[in-house]
Amino acid sequence: MRTGIVISYNGFAGSGIIKDPNNQKIRFRQSQLFDLLNKFDVVEYEIELTESGLMAVDVKAIKNLEGSHLNLGAIVH
């Protein structure tokens, strides 16, 4: 599993972008989500090569000790 941060998510379009530790931006589709996500959520995912390039699949939010999504938004702002 790889880890990254959701840097954008459009619920209407059903897609978003994850940024990994190497600053690579990887797209994901809502159909590949296990959890509802927010911007700056930390996630785990697998990579799949598609016709349009790399795609994050099996995307899951990493949770803190209380069971909430680990979100870096408070740190960034």
Task: For the beta carbon of residue 9, count every other beta carbon within 10 angstroms.
Answer: 20
**Domain hosting residue 39, numbered range:** 2-76
CB 43 within 8 A of CB 32: no
Residue given tokens 């690579």 in the structure block: 24
Strands of 21-65, DSSP E: 25-29, 42-50, 53-61
Helix/strand/coil percentages in the chain, nearest 5: 10, 55, 35
pTM (2 decimals)? 0.84
Q: Which residue has the higher pLDDT, 76 or 12?
A: 12
The CATH number assigned to the domain holding 58 equals 2.40.50.140
pLDDT of residue 55: 96
Domains in the chain, number? 1
Q: Is the confidence at residue 31, as pLDDT, over 60?
A: yes
